[in-house]
Structure 1
Amino acid sequence: MTAAPTAATNPGAGYALLAKEIRGLGLLEPRRGFYAGVGAVALVLTALVVVAMVVWRDSWWLLLGAPVLAVLSTQYGFLGHDIGHRQVTRGRVATRVLGIGVGNGLAGLSYGWWVAKHNAHHAHPNDLATDPDVAVGALVWDADQAEERRGGFVGWVTRHQAALFVPMLLGEAFALHVSSVRELFKPGLRDRAAEATLLVAHLAAYVLLLVTTLTWAQAIVFVLVHKMLQGLYLGLSFAPGHKGMPTLGPVEAADPLLRQVLTSRNIRGGRFVDAALGGLNYQIEHHLFPSMPRSNLRHAQPVVRRFCAERGVPYAEAGAATAYAAGLTHLHAVGSRLRERVAA
């Protein structure tokens, strides 16, 4: 990743001033009614897909339900994300009950595993040493990381990772489910019994639905379409917020305002984009105020944008196509040294 630009003026206690203004507008208050509506719509649509599969069983037309479930599965993921940030309720017990119910029961993902991973990302976004989202994995996000992956298959993947990014997202949902199951066997997971019970219940209900309404061939195709589209949707929702954005020097990283604003990118769009990306298109505002309900982020945006402009803090905002292009360009640049070495 590239080094971050330094703000024209050091805001110092700027974050406290911004937080005071945002709090005064009432934008940090939980929105239980909004989230109840979001959850109710998702549950009704899920029920309609299930009823259709039960009524018109063994029909290839039922495969049209797989993309619908891909969208709904991702929306449950967004809802679990917001619950984990205490946007729905501030109560610790209520948050965990809702989080495990939505995360494990409806999305089939370990709530405890995700919260720990995501909190580490929020604490130090784009920090190569501490942010799990930019740790070395199937992809690498820094040229120095790429130097460690010169040979063999992993070297080939790194050299071509920009072209492979979207195809690799097709397996992301499968990878998340595997990681969730593996977490159950690691020490330190809270509410292990509840998490395991709901993960098993989610899987059992999903398998039961498929085997009682589809032929084996149809079920296999259904799972592949459902999970590949879900992985693609998830990846394309989370990636543009940070990928291709800079890493920080020690001065910027120590400032809570700069640490979150300089490493984040907003995606322009209207209400449809807000719903499609679960509010993650307001990545700057979300990172500054993780507990802010997503329906309030659009109201906070002009306040944050003005605040940054007054203090000379760069505020990154782009259209979706430009944001995706920036991320892919960065992935391509990271592997450039390895491609040059092979060409030589």
Structure 2
Amino acid sequence: MRCLYDVLNVTNDADDTQLKKAYRQAALQWHPDKNQERQQEAEVRFKEIQNAYEILSDKHERAWYDSHRAQILRADGNYQAGGGGFSSDEAAPPEDLSLYQYFSSSCYNSYNDDPKGFYTVYREVFEGLSKHESEAAERTGKKGPSPASFGLSDSPWSEVSAFYRYWLQFVSDREFGWADVHNLASAPNRKVRRLMEEDNKKRRRGARREFQENVRSLVEFVRKRDRRVAAWQQQEELNKQQRLAAEAQRKEEERLQRIQRAREYEDAAWVDAGATDEDSHDEELVLAQDELYCVACDKFFKSANALANHEKSKKHLERAEALRDAMQEEEDALSPIAESDAENEALADTTLWL
């Protein structure tokens, strides 16, 4: 596995502009369409260039790569997809702890369930991890939720989301005994033995922490490239836009209803103004009710105090402002028509006078 900086022919401190320029040059040079005479080699190099730029252009993935570059470059090619088994021997670091070779698109060929496909490769990786975690939990007597499967390319979102929920919070049950550097049996006395034991525990904790961080980083790496996740995010965005459109339509309908109620209220007021004295006594109760009615909120109140308190509320003030704006828009729309009618009437009067 080549260093990603060497793949793009840039230095370790290259900025985003330099990375982009180097990527374009390398991609143009090794594009399969421009290398028909060496098609297979060009496809491999072009994929390697894409992978290098994809990682180095992401600040989080680049930071992780920079801090683990030595281990990644030492990763044995025998551990590549389909390269063989996992070991449970705790005398040395188990082979399945070497996850660095899977932080590259070179470990899979396509996004399908073929033997070298994206979903087969990573399914086998996490199945191997799950197997050893289950064995470790059984040895230590720990009981917890079973590791979630990575699934297939067409797995439902419920299974996909369960996988990422589990592995993004992964905690290992392994003992990490291979990280010990002291043989307690060689301790000359209890004090030295205790110091040796504390140092071994510290090294085990460090090995556990590093392994867990590597697993979670691999899960993030995979999630970013998982097309099932991309499809779900796209559908969620579509659903969000539909909800926003429905909410906007609902608010518009409410605005039109408030305008209609305001017009009806004004019409009723004109009718009341033309009523006779004989009708005034019968309509006193209705007028009293109208006085305790909030047009903006379409709500009646039992007393003047209740109405007064309501008119001071933030919700009322917002609705009243919205109603005034809507009525002003309506008035502005009708004003040119009214002015035209007035001009016509004046012209008619002038013609009649002549």
TM-score, scaled relative to structure 1: 0.26
TM-score by length of 2: 0.26
Greater relative contact order structure (CA < 8 Å, 6+ sep): 1
If you compute each CA radius of gyration, which structure gives the higher value, 1 or 2? 2
